[in-house]
Amino acid sequence: MSEPRKSAELRAIESGGKVRARFKDDGAKTPDSGPIGKAPTYLNSDQRQIWYELRDIIAPGVLQASDIAAFEQLVILKASERQLVIEWNKYGALVLDPPKGRARAQYNVTYCALRQLRKDIAPLLDAFGLNPVARPRVKVPKAAPSNPLDKFLSA
């Protein structure tokens, strides 16, 4: 037969006053800690260049290894946006004949694609604090003081 359950008081006494001693934090490294690292090899050269540009301008401590999927999506969308801007500058606007009653701007293919890309990019820019409105909402961890005098004065 199994042993009877112990009361909460008895467990607290046996664990030295800690009710949830079995759930203690071992200080193990969480999976999302650490820098994001190098660009994946399957990205093309333009995307890798944007990867390093964005990684360098994001505030230190914001971009973690767990953000790789969202950051990769941002990089791919920014590369597509850059390619569309180059196309726009090189060839100008490609305008289809609009149906009767529609504005010509709605049928500018490059403009419509750019507008949609920028709508898709905006939430990702907010998530990483890459626009002035979202920057105060991003929590940046404070760096530990490296000077022993600073450590002493801040304690």
DSSP conformation letters of the chain: -PPPPPPHHHHHHHTTS-TTGGG----PPPTT-S---SPPTTS-HHHHHHHHHHHHHSPTTT--GGGHHHHHHHHHHHHHHHHHHHHHHHH---BPPPPTT--GGGGBHHHHHHHHHHHHHHHHHHHTT-STTTGGGS-PPPPPP-SHHHHHHH-
The string of pLDDT tens digits covering residues 13-63 is: 777 766 565 555 555 555 555 678 889 999 999 999 999 999 998 888 888
Give the per-residue pLDDT at 143: 67
Mean residue pLDDT across the chain? 78
Residue 149 pLDDT exceeds 80: no
0.75 exceeded by pTM: no
Q: Is 148 part of any domain?
A: no
Q: Is 96 part of any domain?
A: yes
- Domain range for residue 60? 30-138
Q: Is 45 part of any domain?
A: yes
Q: Is 54 part of any domain?
A: yes
- Measured CA distances, 27 to 12, 23, 34, 59, 155 (Å): 22, 12, 14, 25, 22
Q: Is 92 part of any domain?
A: yes
Q: Is 52 part of any domain?
A: yes
Q: Is 121 part of any domain?
A: yes
The string of pLDDT tens digits covering residues 99-117 is: 666 655 555 777 788 889 9
Q: Is 89 part of any domain?
A: yes
Note whether 76 and 84 are within 8 A (CB).
no
Q: How many domains does the chain have?
A: 1
